[in-house]
């Protein structure tokens, strides 16, 4: 029997004081962490492998290890955040990121490189996108939630896109080791005190939990909707991860210069921002599942057409338009669909299980993509996006068109644990 979440009254519990400040500061901190682990990594693949004398699969394997560590830690991290809030974990995660990046910068062997990415895996688990989104969902009311996620993802999307040309420029001017040390210093100065300043502490978090409603982890896992969403997110994450990490190398391999190859992803970042600002206001009218399905389909078409573009920059940018729309909406739609489907009572725990599945996709797809190389990596990524669109189709067909049902008024508030009793 499909589990459902009782409606939540429109007013809801009061938002965490200073929630707008929380959104902006946490987004900046996430950008600093995510910018190194994904965009900067993509640009530094060539110089790092050349200096250390290792092949691309071995370097990709280090990031694979970090992603697997993040996956293993996801569920206990989610359970901890549901009980105690995210401040402690976010601070510890930022500190792990600082040490991990500095260790990567000084690596002289594969063993040292992998040790650095163990720490980066903990950073991803404690303070990257999923953890930051959980903090936002738990600190805002239902009506503020999508706005908070939209603003945060817009800042991180634009910020991480800047890392591609910035890293390319810094690598040419300073070398890859000094570039990483610069990033480690900025993360230490901004992210560690930033999380201490804005993330709600344990007392405030527990006060808000007494007003939350929704499904606990068990009933959510027994619902068919969860597994449909999980399969769609897994396919889309595989596509995103392989393409995001290997596109600079792909553009360079097909004939673009390194500067052009590192600059083309800026268009992807800009299109992510545009898609969120233009299409997200349509969510209350057509439903988030419909937007997510269309975005996945457009991304798939863009990727499948990309090998035909060759070294033509205009045609490549045209293909990136579809890819950017997909990248832009999937990051926003994932937490929104989970929160509106299962409530915020144990959002971090439910999202953590999805994170494990998505992390498995993120860890394996870049390695497979590096083995496929050339145009086959892009084609396979596009096919996975179309699979995600097909999986979201049944949810889109039955989705409501009047906005998130979590906003519908309830005749009377129910006890906190009532929804999980079923």
- The per-residue pLDDT for 7 is 42
pTM (two decimals)? 0.70
Helix (H, G, I), strand (E, B) or coil at 214: strand
Domain annotation covers residue 133: yes
Q: How many CA atoms lie within 13 A of 90 on its CB side?
A: 35
Residue 136 and residue 8 in contact, taking contact as beta carbons nearer than 8 Å: no
Per-residue confidence band for 357, with pLDDT thresholds at 50, 70 and 90: confident
Number of Cβ within a 10 Å radius of residue 257: 10
> Is the pLDDT reported for residue 242 higher than 90?
no
Judged by DSSP in three states, 343 sits in strand
**How many domains does the chain divide into?**
1
pLDDT tier, 417 (very low <50, low <70, confident <90, very high otherwise)? very low
Q: Check pLDDT > 90 for residue 154.
A: no
Q: What is the CATH number of the domain that holds 361?
A: 1.20.1250.20
User: What is the rounded distance in angstroms from the CA atom of residue 362 to the CA atom of residue 71?
Assistant: 10
Give the DSSP per-residue string, 249-268. HHHHHTT--HHHHHHHHHHH
Quick one: pLDDT band at residue 211, thresholds 50, 70, 90?
Answer: low
293-339 pLDDT per residue, tens: 899 999 999 999 888 888 888 888 888 888 888 887 877 788 888 88
Residue 378 near residue 320 (C-beta atoms within 8 A): no
pLDDT at 280: 66
Please indicate, yes or no, if residue 74 is contained in any of the structural domains: yes
Q: Indicate whether 82 belongs to any domain.
A: yes
Q: What is the pLDDT of residues 94-114, one digit of tens each?
A: 999 999 999 999 999 999 999
Which pLDDT belongs to residue 402?
Answer: 37
- Averaged pLDDT score across all residues of the chain: 81
| Residue 155 CA: distances (Å) to CA of 4, 25, 63, 224, 232 | 33, 10, 24, 33, 25
Q: Which of 364, 285, 278, 356 is nearest to 321 (CA)?
A: 278
Residue 224 has a pLDDT of: 87
Asked if residue 36 is part of any domain, the answer here is: yes
Q: Would the pLDDT of 343 be above 70?
A: yes
- pLDDT attached to residue 366: 67
How far, in Å, CA of 163 to CA of 161, rounded? 5
What is the reported pLDDT for 268? Answer: 81
What are the C-alpha distances in Å from 116 to residues 18, 104, 359? 35, 5, 18
Residue 406's pLDDT is what?
43
Domain that holds residue 339: 19-403
- Report if residue 383 sits inside a domain: yes
Average pLDDT (126-130) is 81
When pLDDT is cut at 50, 70 and 90, the band that residue 385 belongs to is: very high
Q: Whole-angstrom Cα distance, residue 65 to residue 73?
A: 12
Sequence-ordered alpha helix ranges (H) in 36-128 = 41-52, 56-84, 87-105, 110-127
Does residue 421 belong to any structural domain of this protein?
no
Does residue 8 sit within a domain?
A: no
207 lies in some domain:
yes
Q: Which tops the pLDDT comparison, 161 or 379?
A: 379
Would you give the end-to-end CA distance of the chain in angstroms? 10
């Amino acid at each position: 029997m499909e589990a459902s979440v009782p409606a939540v009254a429109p007013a809801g519990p009061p938002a965490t004081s200073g929630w707008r400040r929380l959104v902006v500061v946490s987004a900046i901190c996430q950008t600093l962490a995510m910018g190194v682990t994904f965009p900067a990594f993509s640009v530094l693949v060539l110089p790092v492998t050349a200096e250390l004398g290792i092949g691309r699969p071995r370097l990709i394997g280090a990031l694979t290890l970090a992603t697997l560590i993040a996956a293993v830690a996801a569920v206990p991290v989610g359970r901890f955040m549901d009980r105690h809030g995210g401040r402690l974990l976010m601070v510890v995660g930022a500190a792990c990121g600082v040490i991990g990046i500095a260790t990567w910068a000084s690596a002289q062997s594969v063993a040292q490189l992998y040790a650095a990415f163990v720490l980066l895996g903990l950073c991803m688990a404690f303070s990257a996108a999923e953890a930051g989104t959980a903090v936002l969902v738990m600190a805002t009311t239902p009506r503020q939630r999508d706005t908070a996620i939209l603003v945060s993802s817009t800042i991180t999307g634009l910020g991480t896109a800047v890392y591609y040309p910035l890293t390319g420029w810094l690598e040419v001017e300073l070398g890859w080791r000094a570039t990483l040390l610069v990033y480690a210093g900025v993360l230490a100065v901004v992210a560690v005190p930033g999380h201490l300043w804005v993330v709600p502490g344990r007392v405030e978090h527990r006060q808000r939990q007494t007003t939350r409603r929704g499904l606990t982890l068990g009933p959510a896992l027994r619902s068919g909707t969860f597994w449909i969403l999980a399969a769609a997110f897994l396919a889309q994450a595989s596509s995103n991860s392989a393409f995001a990490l290997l596109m600079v190398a792909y553009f360079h391999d097909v004939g673009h210069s390194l500067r052009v190859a590192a600059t083309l992803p800026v268009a992807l970042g800009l299109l992510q921002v545009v898609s969120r600002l233009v299409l997200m206001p349509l969510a209350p009218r057509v439903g988030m599942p419909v937007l997510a399905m269309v975005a996945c389909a457009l991304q798939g078409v863009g990727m499948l057409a990309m090998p035909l573009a060759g070294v033509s920059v205009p045609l490549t940018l045209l293909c990136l338009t579809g890819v950017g729309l997909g990248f832009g909406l999937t990051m926003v739609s994932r937490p929104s669909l989970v929160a509106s489907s299962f409530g915020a009572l144990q959002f971090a725990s439910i999202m953590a299980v999805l994170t494990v599945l998505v992390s498995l996709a993120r860890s394996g797809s870049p390695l497979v993509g590096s083995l496929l190389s050339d145009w086959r990596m892009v084609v396979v990524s596009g096919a996975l996006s179309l699979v995600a669109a097909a999986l979201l189709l049944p949810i889109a067909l039955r989705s409501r068109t009047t906005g998130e049902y979590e906003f519908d008024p309830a005749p009377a508030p129910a006890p906190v644990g009532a929804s999980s009793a079923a």
